């Protein structure tokens, strides 16, 4: 049961600390620059790790660099979705997990973990998404969700695949975050600037605020990097079809609570959207209790 320790630590870093920090940062000016700084920090941590524990460049690492390029686009889409609504985004977070789970079933032979409760829970999650998408104002959110859900589903599967292949932490972190940093530079250079929100659109040049922003981005990078380290560790210890549903439930429930209460997003919800939350949470809870 040792795998439960890194799982618990990842719940804190990935689904509590990370969404809080991202939600605070996405409302500030220069989103793309802040995004790029985050991956510079993550790549720097990975280089230090590689230098300390040893590293050798291989074909698999080169493949992972290209996966990292795609990962940066998924992360940028997640930032944009979170900027719109953290709580609604959390209900859509099942997309990447489900894709990763299905790839585990089909390619890694883990279909034995599929059961009736899981199927019912997945259907309820899709119903919740369907209810939310009926409101036109949620369509922009859905666009970003479709981007990061598809990309991150592949990244989840790649994490499990390379873990099974015995790739070291050093190789995995260097490849993924090296590619992600390159991707963030491409986004900074070629992706058009989107309109800043009124709340975060005013530039503040106070030195204390710049220092606070720098510390916030550094803290976010630490949380993101540790989440990936812990996630890769978990994938070495347990099947994707067992660990991933735990993450699915946590990333649907914990960020939703944070968005609704800490960031006061509950005040903007319609009755239909509240019903979608109930259906979605019911779905993820059924998934959670479907595993023995």
Q: Which of 9-18, 228-237, 264-273 has the highest mean pLDDT?
A: 9-18
Residue 59 lies in domain: 8-190+204-289
217 versus 27: the higher-pLDDT residue is 217
Quick one: how far is CA 74 from the chain centroid? 8
Q: Is residue 160 part of a domain?
A: yes
Confidence (pLDDT) at 250: 83
- Phi and psi (nearest 5°) for 191? -80, 125
Nearest to 170 by CA among 86, 48, 258: 48
3-state secondary structure of 191: coil
Q: Does residue 197 belong to any structural domain of this protein?
A: no
Distance CA 128, CA 150 (A): 18
On whether residue 195 sits in a domain, the answer given is: no
283 lies in some domain? yes
CA 57-169-16 angle, to 5 degrees, is: 135
**Radius of gyration of the chain, Cα coordinates, nearest whole angstrom:** 19
Average pLDDT over residues 87-116: 71
Evaluate if residue 197 carries a pLDDT over 70.
no
What is the pTM for the complete model shown?
0.85
What is the number of structural domains in the chain?
Answer: 1
Give the pLDDT of residue 255. Answer: 92
The two tokens of residue 274 are 């509240």
Q: What is the pLDDT of residue 82?
A: 95
Q: Residue 204 pLDDT more than 60?
A: no
Please give the average per-residue pLDDT across 187-211, as a whole number.
Answer: 62
pLDDT value of position 95: 66
Q: What span, in angstroms and rounded, lies between the C-alpha atoms of 143 and 103?
A: 22
pLDDT at 239: 64
Instruction: Say if 141 falls within a structural domain.
Output: yes
Cα(287)–Cα(251) distance, integer angstroms: 13
DSSP 62-97: HHHHHHHHHHHHHHHHHHHHHHH-HHHHHHHTHHHH
What separation in angstroms does the CA of 238 have from each of 113, 114, 229, 287? 12, 15, 15, 17
1 is a domain residue: no
Q: Which residues of 69-107 are buried (b: 16+ CB within 10 A; e: fewer)?
A: bbbbbbbbbbbbbbbbbbbbbbbbbbbbbbbbbbbbbee
**How much is the pLDDT for 223?**
96
In a domain, 242, yes or no: yes
Instruction: Provide the token pair at 177.
Output: 């975050």
pLDDT of 200 over the 60 cut = no
Q: Could you tell me which residues come within 8 angstroms of residue 275 by beta carbon, excluding any fewer than 6 positions away?
A: 131
Cβ contacts of residue 139 below 8 Å, gap of 6+? 133
Q: Flag whether 3 is in a domain.
A: no
């Amino acid at each position: 049961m040792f795998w439960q320790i890194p799982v618990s630590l990842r719940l804190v870093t990935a689904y509590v600390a990370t969404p809080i920090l991202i939600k605070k940062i996405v409302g500030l000016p220069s989103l793309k620059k802040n995004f790029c700084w985050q991956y510079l920090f993550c790549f720097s941590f990975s280089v230090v790790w590689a230098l300390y524990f040893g590293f050798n460049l291989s074909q698999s690492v080169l493949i992972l660099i290209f996966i990292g390029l795609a990962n940066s686009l998924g992360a940028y889409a997640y930032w944009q979705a979170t900027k719109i609504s953290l709580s609604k985004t959390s209900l859509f977070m099942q997309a990447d997990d489900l894709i990763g789970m299905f790839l585990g079933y089909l390619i890694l032979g883990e279909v034995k973990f599929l059961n009736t409760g899981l199927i019912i829970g997945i259907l309820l999650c899709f119903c919740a998404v369907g209810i939310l998408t009926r409101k036109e104002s949620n369509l922009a959110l859905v666009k970003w969700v479709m981007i990061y859900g598809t990309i991150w589903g592949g990244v989840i599967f790649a994490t499990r695949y390379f873990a099974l292949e015995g790739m070291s932490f050093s190789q995995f972190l260097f490849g993924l975050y090296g590619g992600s940093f390159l991707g963030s530079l491409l986004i900074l250079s070629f992706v058009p600037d989107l309109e800043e929100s009124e709340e975060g659109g005013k530039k503040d040049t106070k030195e204390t605020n710049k220092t606070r922003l720098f510390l916030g981005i550094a803290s976010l990078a630490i949380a993101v990097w540790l989440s990936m380290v812990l996630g890769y560790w978990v994938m070495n210890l347990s099947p994707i079809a067992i660990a991933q549903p735990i993450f699915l439930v946590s990333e649907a429930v914990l960020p939703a609570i944070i968005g609704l209460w800490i960031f006061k997003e509950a005040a903007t919800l319609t009755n239909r959207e509240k019903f979608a939350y109930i259906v979605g949470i019911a779905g993820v809870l059924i998934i959670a209790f479907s595993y023995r």
